[in-house]
Amino acid sequence: MDFTPKFLATAIGSMPHTDPERALDVVLHALSDAPIWPQLPKRGLAEQMEAQYTQGMPRAVLDQVKRRVYFDTAGDTSEELATFYETYVLAMDPDEGNGDCQALAIGPDYAAGLHALQARLKATGRTFPYLKVHTTGPVSFALAVTDENKRAIYYNDEFRDVATKALAMKCRWQIQTFQPFADKIICFLDEPMLSAFGSSTYVSVTRADIVGMISEVVQAVHADGGLAGMHCCGNTEWSIPVDAGVDIVNLDAFEFGETIALYPAAVNQLFDRHGALAWGLVPSSAKVRDCDAQQLVALFERLADKLAAAGVDRTRIVQQAMVTSACGTGSLELADAELIFARIAEVGAALRAKYGF
């Protein structure tokens, strides 16, 4: 892998818009080298973070009345699970699979922004150096989505495995969908639940299982030539995504940036394989109103200094840096979200100019 991003700017997926075309205007104006497809959770239940990826998963239920998504695990599930695994093997078997993940496609009712971006790029013929797609990570998905009795499917071995494999297929389908429009596809796994790893709430969630689940999806991303990233919007054990084989580790650098300096060995391991740190320098809140680009450049400099002092070569920190928002903007006011996208572009440009990239 030859990936030297030099402050490549991109964003986390969610936006507060309900009009996908307006959201795309914001994205394409701000992120000229690595646009995203906008996740639009305010459009309805089907576009919520976990529900968005349930289409095609066996026994998944979207309850519009109670506004919840769950898996109906009652009774005999063997037929549905057998059908799913047959579909999975046909597509994903490393030796005999055909690679076709259309069976786990994300339809327009679940991702209006994805289909709007695809349609616009087809119409304009525009292409990019990078294009970023995204999926709820398997750990956060399995801990957030429950069965009919409101027990997280993480604790159901069968359905946890199904969810992990289905998400892997959805990553590959997205990469295949957007490959005509970019030199390289970046696929992020959004793992907010990892900020609670080690807490009493998830005492039975093991590090080995987390690494294994994420690694399985990362391998699927790599199978189609994509770059795999992992985003966590809180503090976590940053060696986990590195051990899982991700290419890009994305952290909320605005609130938790100093925590990465606790893991110099993991960062060096990431850089040794030409991976990157995506610094979420731009706050994903109303705080963005009080932060200009130069302040956020200065924040990066302070954090880079701390990481260098911990034993990571500063030249590599700079060369292997990306710029993002701290998290998604889906819950914000439109004006704040659009300011965040503008600020991402400004910070990326300012850092590239400072270092002569």
Name all domains of the chain by residue range, CATH numbers in brackets. Answer: 8-355 (3.20.20.210)
In tens, the pLDDT along 139-157 reads 999 999 999 999 999 999 9
266 within 8 A of 242, measured Cβ to Cβ:
yes
Place of tokens 């994509």: 226
More confident residue, 195 or 353: 353
- Provide the pLDDT confidence category of residue 197 given band limits of 50, 70 and 90: confident
Of all residues in the chain, what percent carry a pLDDT higher than 90? 96
- Provide the pLDDT confidence category of residue 204 given band limits of 50, 70 and 90: confident
Per-residue pLDDT at 69:
97
Backbone angles phi, psi at 178, to 5 degrees: -105, 0
Alpha carbon distance 337, 330 (integer Å): 8
Per-residue pLDDT at 201:
75
Per-residue pLDDT at 186:
98
Task: Say if residue 200's pLDDT is above 90.
Answer: no
In tens, the pLDDT along 246-292 reads 999 999 999 999 999 999 999 999 999 999 999 999 999 999 999 99
47 within 8 A of 328, measured Cβ to Cβ:
no
In tens, the pLDDT along 58-68 reads 999 999 999 99
- Provide the pLDDT confidence category of residue 299 given band limits of 50, 70 and 90: very high
Q: How many C-beta atoms surround the C-beta of residue 158 within 10 A?
A: 14
Per-residue pLDDT at 203:
79
| Cα 60 to chain centroid, rounded | 22
Q: For the chain, give the mean pLDDT.
A: 97
Task: Say if residue 82's pLDDT is above 80.
Answer: yes
Alpha carbon distance 153, 43 (integer Å): 26
Backbone angles phi, psi at 322, to 5 degrees: -115, 165
Per-residue pLDDT at 109:
97
Per-residue pLDDT at 198:
74
Half-sphere exposure of 307 (CA within 13 A, CB side): 30
Alpha carbon distance 266, 354 (integer Å): 27
Residue 50, both tokens = 């976990």
Task: Say if residue 110's pLDDT is above 80.
Answer: yes
What is the amino acid identity at position 256?
F
Residue 184, both tokens = 């390289």
Alpha carbon distance 65, 63 (integer Å): 5
Least confident of 115-129, 186-200, 262-276, 318-332: 186-200
- Provide the pLDDT confidence category of residue 202 given band limits of 50, 70 and 90: confident
Residue 304, both tokens = 């880079």
* Strand ranges across the sheet with 60-63: 60-63, 68-71, 146-147
User: Among residues 142, 161, 157, 123, which one has the least CA distance to residue 24?
Assistant: 123
Exposure class string for 109-125: b at 16+ Cβ within 10 A, else e: ebbbbbbbbbebbeeee
Which H or E element spans position 130? strand 128-136
In tens, the pLDDT along 7-52 reads 999 999 999 999 999 999 999 999 999 999 999 999 999 999 999 9
Alpha carbon distance 204, 154 (integer Å): 10
* The model's pTM: 0.97
